[in-house]
């Protein structure tokens, strides 16, 4: 009869965030080292955006939204891990952007380490602007991102989207309100 065994992962956090993972087999209460599966140096990476960067983006969002009833959000993370449009759509829903009254929310999504980005507009704004607009705005942002200007690329896209939102959904002082937070959603921070 074969003894019962289970697999466990033993991990320890050592000096300066060096993380080692060793797969072990437990057989009749004794550990037997099978070998190192993965050893990764967990470097403390700099934040994706500084406070000053976030303030600049929030200011651009505020200025864009003052002239329209549209809503703009920005999501920045390190890795996408899937198709960029699927990931952006997931964040669109998670940030509740589909719940605006006129369905005129726009998400600007950037996965920095994967070098992927997307701009997604809800059905209300998409009906008025169409695919060509989104493709051109995205291309302009990508050019800045390729040049290493992450914040400039995002701020430029926010400003451009704001101008188009102003044309399609002008500000109405009587009933317009800020339906969504202008805060930048960043992976480094609590979700």
- Summarised one tens digit per residue, pLDDT across range 133-174 is 888 889 999 999 988 899 999 999 999 999 999 998 888 877
Question: CATH: 3.10.310.50, 3.40.228.10, 3.10.20.740, 3.40.50.720. Which one for 51-186?
Answer: 3.10.310.50
Q: Tens digits of per-residue pLDDT, 27-61?
A: 333 343 434 333 344 567 788 999 999 999 999 99
Secondary structure (DSSP) of 149-188? -HHHHHHHHHHHHHHHHHHHSB--TTT----S--PPEETT
Instruction: Please give the structure tokens belonging to residue 125.
Output: 């704004």
| Helix residue spans in the chain (DSSP H) | 51-66, 84-94, 123-146, 150-168
Tell me how far apart the alpha carbons of residues 98 and 101 are, in angstroms, rounded to a whole number: 9
Confidence at residue 190, expressed as pLDDT on a 0 to 100 scale: 60
Is residue 4 predicted with pLDDT exceeding 60?
Answer: no
Is residue 10 predicted with pLDDT exceeding 60?
Answer: no
Is residue 9 predicted with pLDDT exceeding 70?
Answer: no
Residue pair 17/41 in contact (Cβ under 8 Å)? The answer is yes
For the chain, give every domain's residue range.
5-41, 51-186
Q: State mean pLDDT over 73-97.
A: 94
Q: State mean pLDDT over 117-135.
A: 88
Phi, psi of 167 (to 5 degrees): -70, -45
């Amino acid at each position: 009869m074969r003894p019962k065994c289970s697999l466990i992962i033993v991990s320890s956090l050592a000096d300066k965030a060096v993380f080692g993972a060793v797969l072990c087999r437990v057989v009749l209460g004794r550990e037997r080292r099978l070998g190192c599966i993965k050893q990764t140096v967990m470097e403390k990476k700099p934040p994706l955006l500084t406070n000053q960067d976030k303030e600049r983006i929030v200011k651009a969002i505020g200025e864009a939204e003052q002239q329209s009833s549209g809503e703009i959000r920005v999501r920045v993370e390190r890795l996408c891990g899937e198709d960029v449009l699927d990931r952006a759509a997931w964040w669109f829903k998670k940030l509740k952007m589909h719940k605006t009254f006129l369905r005129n929310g726009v998400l600007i999504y950037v996965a920095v380490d994967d070098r992927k980005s997307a701009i997604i507009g809800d059905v209300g704004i998409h009906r008025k602007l169409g695919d060509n607009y989104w493709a051109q705005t995205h291309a302009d942002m990508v050019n800045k991102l390729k040049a290493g200007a992450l914040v400039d690329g995002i701020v430029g896209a926010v400003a451009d989207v704001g101008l188009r939102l102003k044309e399609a959904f002008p500000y109405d002082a009587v009933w317009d309100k800020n339906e969504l937070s202008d805060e930048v959603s960043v992976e480094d921070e609590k979700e």
